[in-house]
Structure 1
């Protein structure tokens, strides 16, 4: 009887997975192909799918099967445990709230596009207030069911097993590190002088061909992927039909190129998930911090390394022509790893990017907690960014309107970005130790050794392990933020006389603020 119950649950999970895949494709289409007039209908379609999925998950016979089911083997046991977790969260929410949330998110996201273009926060404020109201209602319901705080209950939607109380000291320690590291990195850059710019125009058609060629070279199969254009780069679709997007700037090919390398990292993770558990909870990714680690180990750790840039530079020069000097690996490194106190998160360098995430983490916690009203968001944003980076945005487009996340209902997502960056540095350190000749392969444009290691140590585990256990299995320890700081010091502070002091500080701080 118990095995029959488990089989019924896996059948239901497969149908739920198919509904989720359909919703993902509809989201992708809304960002790439859908005409503006289709927004209202698309919102209703997504709300209906969300409602159907919720009804399937909360049907009375699901609870009966969960009580009766047993599983044979570690994978099946993990799958059953994830089903129980998903059911507990789903039954905490009425279908009406799930559908209302989907409609509000879709409506707000469409308005946000116009508000961002006009740099006018007032345009989207009422819609965002409705999104926040529903997110707070959702958070309270989930908190009651799980015993977590409301904000932690939302975080759990994106990365299970990590709480704000664990993240906060890690972010506070990074803020202390940044106060010293940022001015030192800026001083080093000033002594070196500015990099040579990539001059000229870069036709979109050539950029598109280059981006597609590189994503295929990294291992993303043509028969299982698409590359399209959107306002905000993302990776969507399904593990067998991955959709990545980017946007193009004819004056700067780095925008599209680095975006595609990042999204290809996400796509490779999806392609590497265990196929035998497709459309099962255990066959999904381990969470969004884990996902971000995979995009960032490809883009930041591998493809912005000196070794890979030595491979990439001559090919860029061959494609775009002009003076060869700007395409030298050393110059590309200085150009694409340049530290700058900027307003835009997606354009930020490795050193300052966590500051953008820390800001959003603090603001969204305050909004969910009822301590920050939507009307006060622009001012709080400006104050927070000034405290972290010493700058304030000149307008809404470069302030609180720059990201899609809150306008699409994604509260609790932002910590995953910096947790992922820290995990990427830790994973790359382990991959180098386990894979002799890794950098030599990168210098030939060959990411196969790295991707092979990731397949075995990250991708293939699916969601059978949580974020921390996944890192323990791959690196022998939970998240260690010092690996990220040491990576940054080696890349940005290596010729500074104070580096020895930084290294000594890192050794003293090891273990302090470690996220377990």
Structure 2
């Protein structure tokens, strides 16, 4: 057996372990009864320690050294070696006891967060989140020492390989300067238009679910390899060939759940479209979270908030809820779904105000990781940041710093990928529409095939074959360009007025 074959077999077994962990994590978030939390935490911690032990197997270094000298390997196999080395370096930075402690702390914190969020009680979460943050700092410091990165950049690198906060600072500072005036102009533009009539609920959950399933099918989701469920915070998870998504329902407003379903379907399409020949290898994984978020936001914001989408979807919406009258016409629905409004909740924000939510979280988590502020100061700092960036202050912590699961779940260094993803989505959608001029006309007929085919060829099927910048340049002809995102916002929210 060659060194490369030994590596591929070994990392195939690691992938199988990851799949088991992924399904257990999905179950914890979507189905598990509260009383099982303790035993589940023990099981998850053990599996993660075992996975870590496999990832730091001392034979990996020798196999890598030999395989990297093998001239018979093709481009995919060489890319796989690069990704294996990336993972091996990061994993060997961590001792097993730190992996175990982090897993247990996260399991406890996630359960505490669900109750704290429901009760709007940050104090109840504080001791659990303090432990998670302490361990995340240790993880970031250990990886940073190995990679020559700051603690924060080491955590960012886990989510966005090659990503650096210095570049994000520049992009986000520019956006933070751009947004306040643009938000004002967008709101002013929409007030000059006639406002759509109200959609009168209630909107039964089962009707919402059926509408969501119909839209998932139209987008190309493979129900033979996934399912739709409910969770406190919408997410996409599961395992290879078992890509599950969740949403949450509000009977007073069906738009929230529907766009949540479309967003998570974008993630799922990426996972379902990864290169099958290497599915259990690191090179098959999605190329970082900015690309992953670009796929969800491309569907949710670019394709499914277009005029064309509502030409297709309006009849299904009317049928689902027995709607009639002007409020249910495509133009009125489009105006409702593209309404710019300062709000407290990130996952319900429009695409104009959404980057402000992300910039806030990015700045706060950087300060927390650097120990420049304490967790006890978080609620006040959050409210001050909302005032600065959006001009509003949450009335309670449930609508403020308790709304997201990311920090309790150990996802530090993740938030900036949402807005990087929004920029990337605008650039990819522009390129797709230029390459396939029928993309939008076909969406108006409920046919997403040209768009999905372009994404499959240029993004999904490429896995981690290329680094992020190269993959984007190959797909669009240029590196990430924030001006494309700004131009998109201007066309939709100013020119359309």
Same fold (TM over 0.5): yes
| Residues in 2 aligned to 1:59 and 1:27: alpha-carbon distance in whole angstroms | 25
Q: CA deviation at 1:107?
A: 0.4
For 1:491-511, what per-residue CA distance to the aligned partner results, in whole angstroms no more than 9, with x for missing partners? 001156xxxxxxxxxxxxxxx
What residue in structure 2 maps to residue 122 of structure 1?
A: 123
Kindly indicate whether residue 103 of structure 2 is the aligned counterpart of residue 105 of structure 1.
no
Contact 1:196 1:335 in 2 (8 A): no
What residue in structure 1 maps to residue 29 of structure 2?
A: 31
**Unaligned regions of 5+ residues in structure 2, if any?**
none
Map 1:194-209; keep pairs closer than 5 Å: 194-209=195-210
| Residues in 2 aligned to 1:365 and 1:75: alpha-carbon distance in whole angstroms | 35
What residue in structure 2 maps to residue 299 of structure 1?
A: 300
Contact 1:46 1:102 in 2 (8 A): yes
Candidates 2, 13, 16, aligned match of 1:15 = 13
Q: CA deviation at 1:31?
A: 1.3
For 1:165-222, what per-residue CA distance to the aligned partner results, in whole angstroms no more than 9, with x for missing partners? 0011111111111122111111112121432221122111111111112111211122
Candidates 65, 68, 92, aligned match of 2:66 = 68
Map 1:215-234; keep pairs closer than 5 Å: 215-234=216-235
More divergent stretch after superposition (317-326 vs 94-103): 317-326
Contact 1:125 1:375 in 2 (8 A): yes
| Residues in 1 aligned to 2:330 and 2:171: alpha-carbon distance in whole angstroms | 33
What residue in structure 1 maps to residue 86 of structure 2?
A: 85
What residue in structure 2 maps to residue 512 of structure 1?
A: none
| Residues in 2 aligned to 1:308 and 1:239: alpha-carbon distance in whole angstroms | 30
For 1:352-409, what per-residue CA distance to the aligned partner results, in whole angstroms no more than 9, with x for missing partners? 1000000000000001111011111111111111111111111110111000000111
**After TM superposition, which residue ranges in structure 1, 4 or more long, deviate above 3 angstroms?**
none
Kindly indicate whether residue 483 of structure 2 is the aligned counterpart of residue 482 of structure 1.
yes
Q: CA deviation at 1:281?
A: 0.4
Contact 1:50 1:99 in 2 (8 A): yes
> SS of the residue aligned with 1:244?
strand
Kindly indicate whether residue 40 of structure 2 is the aligned counterpart of residue 42 of structure 1.
yes
What residue in structure 2 maps to residue 367 of structure 1?
A: 368
Contact 1:238 1:270 in 2 (8 A): no
More divergent stretch after superposition (328-337 vs 348-357): 328-337
| Residues in 1 aligned to 2:486 and 2:152: alpha-carbon distance in whole angstroms | 27
| Residues in 2 aligned to 1:193 and 1:396: alpha-carbon distance in whole angstroms | 35
Contact 2:211 2:316 in 1 (8 A): no
> SS of the residue aligned with 1:407?
coil
| Residues in 2 aligned to 1:444 and 1:268: alpha-carbon distance in whole angstroms | 20
More divergent stretch after superposition (151-160 vs 249-258): 249-258
What residue in structure 1 maps to residue 260 of structure 2?
A: 259
> SS of the residue aligned with 1:202?
coil
Kindly indicate whether residue 313 of structure 2 is the aligned counterpart of residue 315 of structure 1.
no
Contact 2:208 2:320 in 1 (8 A): no
Q: CA deviation at 1:10?
A: 0.6
**Unaligned regions of 5+ residues in structure 1, if any?**
497-516
What residue in structure 2 maps to residue 452 of structure 1?
A: 453
TM-score (norm 2): 0.98
For 1:204-253, what per-residue CA distance to the aligned partner results, in whole angstroms no more than 9, with x for missing partners? 11111111121112111221110111111111112311101111111211
For 1:92-141, what per-residue CA distance to the aligned partner results, in whole angstroms no more than 9, with x for missing partners? 10000011001101100100000000001000000100000000011110
| Residues in 1 aligned to 2:241 and 2:268: alpha-carbon distance in whole angstroms | 10
What residue in structure 2 maps to residue 506 of structure 1?
A: none
Map 1:326-341; keep pairs closer than 5 Å: 326-341=327-342
| Residues in 2 aligned to 1:341 and 1:423: alpha-carbon distance in whole angstroms | 23
What residue in structure 2 maps to residue 504 of structure 1?
A: none
Contact 1:207 1:253 in 2 (8 A): yes
| Residues in 2 aligned to 1:291 and 1:413: alpha-carbon distance in whole angstroms | 11
Contact 1:233 1:247 in 2 (8 A): yes
Contact 1:47 1:103 in 2 (8 A): yes
| Residues in 2 aligned to 1:275 and 1:49: alpha-carbon distance in whole angstroms | 25
| Residues in 2 aligned to 1:172 and 1:193: alpha-carbon distance in whole angstroms | 34
